[in-house]
Amino acid sequence: MPADPARPQPAQLNPVLPPVPDIVRSAYATLVVTDLAEARRFWVDLLGFVVTAEEPAALYLRGYDELTHHNLILRAGPVAAAGALGFRVRSPLDLDRAVDYYKALGCRTQRLPAGAVRGLGEIVRAEDPLGFLVDLFASAEHPERLQQRYDLRRGAEVARLDHFNICVPDVPRAYDYYAGLGFGLSETIEDERCVYAAWMYRKQTVHDVAFTGGAGPRLHHLGFFAHEAHSVLRMCDILGSLSLEAHIERGPGRHGVSNAFYVYLRDPDGHRMEIYTSDYYTGDPDHPVLRWSVLDPRRRDFWGNAVIPSWYSDASAVLDLDGAVRPVTDLAQAAEVTVGADGFTAKNPAAPQQGPQQAPR
Ligand code: 4SX
Ligand code: FE2
């Protein structure tokens, strides 16, 4: 029987490649920010991230549920950009596998000793085939557990990192690469012509990584989990009270894809983050894929609210292994923003009044 692409496969899918590293979850990201003090005001003072560690040029932040050292590194630098996307792997053996795997793919790869990234054990850092830096690690320090320190919670009461959303010029190619790493497919946006976006997971949620069709490689956003829809609303209220409402880019609302309640904010450098809550369990071995028609006005906002154009166009540059900003390749397929039926329904006479049914295939 052929492998079910919707299901995480621990074993390799491509027999020509060495065994794949067993990725557990998306775990952290690094953002280069141009003014660390300003970034701290946004991420720590307003959003309420916990500071695990602090250096003159970097902050290591985590959510209140995170039991490892960090979910986000803010590093001061001359140009705003995204550094590595960090994935937890199951064991040190998976680091050896990662080296062989990325070498077989022809990707530049480095092994960094424990502590090279503060709070983490040894790291395999690679420039992946999609052009993103990835950090794979198998061990991390466990700082003080703050889950039940309700007295400390502030801002959006962020719990942990939930997912990476990346801009890629060729969504099926990104799908193939992550399917090869054993990621399951939870949802798509598509039509008979192409797949415009896809959501894939290793942990048992809707996603660890999602693809937005666009010039890439670029980081579209970091999604952070909160426990309560109220946290999303409260964060918006706080920003309004402080006349900082310009940080709110899209939402709050209910996603069609994932069913999560959400808001997107832009940080002082324009990096996009999402506060995301109440998606669903995907861990059954026969978990069915949900395929949304690109013409369904509910797919990106279940209430049919417009997605503003900046959400489709803007994203963060990404760095290569040498710390240089990577050039991007333009979108190689049809653009959802011109086909899709959300805020642009009026421009799209083909859009139905009510979305077609998306029965899982
Ligand atoms: O805009 S979508 O409803 O497609 C969506 C976007 C769903 C889940 C996400 O995490 C996201 O960023
Ligand atoms: Fe997201």
Query: Does residue 30 register a pLDDT over 90?
Result: yes
Confidence bin at 361 (pLDDT 50/70/90): very low
The neighbour count for residue 354, using CB atoms within 10 Å, is 10
Same-domain status, 334 and 205 = yes
Beta bridge partners of 329: 216
User: Can you give the pLDDT at residue 8?
Assistant: 56
- Overall average pLDDT of the 240-245 stretch: 98
- Locus of tokens 């979910």: 71
The count of structural domains within the chain is: 2
Domain boundaries, position 328:
162-341
User: Can you give the pLDDT at residue 337?
Assistant: 87
- Overall average pLDDT of the 236-248 stretch: 98
Confidence bin at 308 (pLDDT 50/70/90): very high
What's the start-to-end Cα distance of the chain, in Å?
A: 18
Same-domain status, 176 and 261 = yes
Q: Is residue 356 part of a domain?
A: no
With 0-12 / 13-18 / 19 or more C-beta atoms within 10 angstroms meaning exposed / middle / buried, residue 129 is: middle
The neighbour count for residue 289, using CB atoms within 10 Å, is 19
- Overall average pLDDT of the 318-329 stretch: 98
pLDDT tens profile 111-149: 999 999 999 999 999 999 999 999 999 999 999 999 999
pLDDT above 70 coverage of the chain, percent: 90
Q: Residue 312: which of 188, 212, 232, 227 has the closest Cα?
A: 212
Q: Which atom of ligand 1 is nearest to the CA of 274?
A: 12
Query: Does residue 5 register a pLDDT over 60?
Result: no
Confidence bin at 314 (pLDDT 50/70/90): very high
Same-domain status, 51 and 123 = yes
Same-domain status, 81 and 135 = yes
Same-domain status, 66 and 198 = no
Atom 10 of ligand 1, nearest CA residue: 223
Same-domain status, 123 and 33 = yes
Query: Does residue 16 register a pLDDT over 50?
Result: yes
Q: Which atom of ligand 1 is nearest to the CA of 207?
A: 10
Same-domain status, 101 and 204 = no
On whether the CB atoms of residues 167 and 217 are closer than 8 A, the answer is yes
Dihedral, CA of residue 330, residue 336, residue 337 and residue 340, to nearest 10: 170
Q: Which atom of ligand 1 is nearest to the CA of 300?
A: 3
Same-domain status, 201 and 255 = yes
Give the CA angle between residues 73, 79, 80 to the nearest 5°: 50
* Helical ranges in the chain per DSSP H: 36-40, 92-104, 171-180, 229-241, 309-313, 336-339
CA 276 – ligand 2 centroid, Å: 7
Q: What are phi and psi for residue 166, nearest 5 degrees?
A: -120, 145
Same-domain status, 132 and 189 = no
Which of these ranges, 27-41, 59-73, 344-358, has the smallest mean pLDDT?
344-358
Q: State the chain's mean pLDDT as an integer.
A: 92
Atom 2 of ligand 1, nearest CA residue: 300
**Gap between the Cα atoms of 187 and 253, Å rounded:** 18
Q: What are phi and psi for residue 299, nearest 5 degrees?
A: -65, -40
Same-domain status, 138 and 250 = no
Question: Does 8 sit in the ligand 1 pocket, CB within 6 Å?
Answer: no
Same-domain status, 101 and 168 = no
- Global pTM reads 0.93
Question: Best mutation site among 161, 185, 199 for ligand 1, i.e. most ligand atoms within 8 A of its Cβ?
Answer: 199
Task: Write the CATH number for 227.
Answer: 3.10.180.10
User: Can you give the pLDDT at residue 161?
Assistant: 99
Which pairing describes strands 109-112 and 123-127: parallel, antiparallel, or unpaired? antiparallel
Atom 3 of ligand 1, nearest CA residue: 300
pLDDT tens profile 257-283: 999 999 999 999 999 999 999 999 999
Question: Does 220 sit in the ligand 1 pocket, CB within 6 Å?
Answer: no
